[in-house]
Chain A
């Protein structure tokens, strides 16, 4: 018997959008291609080199020899194949496009909002543009990447996305924050 499966975003119906484009904005991406890349033992440098050399991949550090790779160029259906063919035996690749949710927090208070839940120093001198790491935000583990002075990408596990957005709204209570799905 054949089934039709339909992709439903983890936050469909539960995002609790705060409309408008306020000073600070949290955009939830609808279909982001995400994969986890784990370097084969002893091949961390080769895998890192291949990821950095290809502009279609955004590699975010998770741990030694391990990255979350996001792509706006490749579709969720093709990212794993694109990565596998380039990385070959240097790394293992697992699709996470439907396993994680990617969000972008931007605005002049972005770092202050995050500081209400994250204990890592987010001053641009300590956590520079281009850096990424996995860290605790309240009780949830998130991968945080600084893509600009006032702009952060956050990647959480799908089942935590609803609680995470609720947390961010509380963290931003004394700041002006709008929340919605990204339009792109």
Chain B
């Protein structure tokens, strides 16, 4: 399988073109890095690839077929700020099980403690919340994973732990991963290939 972006162009409203005629492929099982200066449009590209924004020009397809807008999206995005990605009025248990029910093994490997499930989002740290978001996105139905600076606010040990889980799961389910980061070391360590934005 292959996720293909063809001749993408995008602008917010009547603003300047942020993405101009961009082409990108991501194969199943591949770990692709995406880096570039702040404000160059990495997050915007991530949102277009995962169906959160519609490009004004070009298309995003899987094996030449367009992605259905209803039902579970095989291209899942994990956001940079987990605080905004969870409903503040839901207990963590409900958030965790919204898309699928992650097994205990996955929760353990991500270091999610049983006691956290009964808590509210404002009772967890950003790093702890992000583990829930990662678990949610690693559904068996996920074919491609877009990770937008998902470990930027974490310490080195937690960062390594989370990427370990993501890479293992990607290998196991043959998921293609796009690692968006401005951390050159992280990208060099994780990725088979790097895509540099301008």
- Is this pair of chains taken from one and the same complex? no
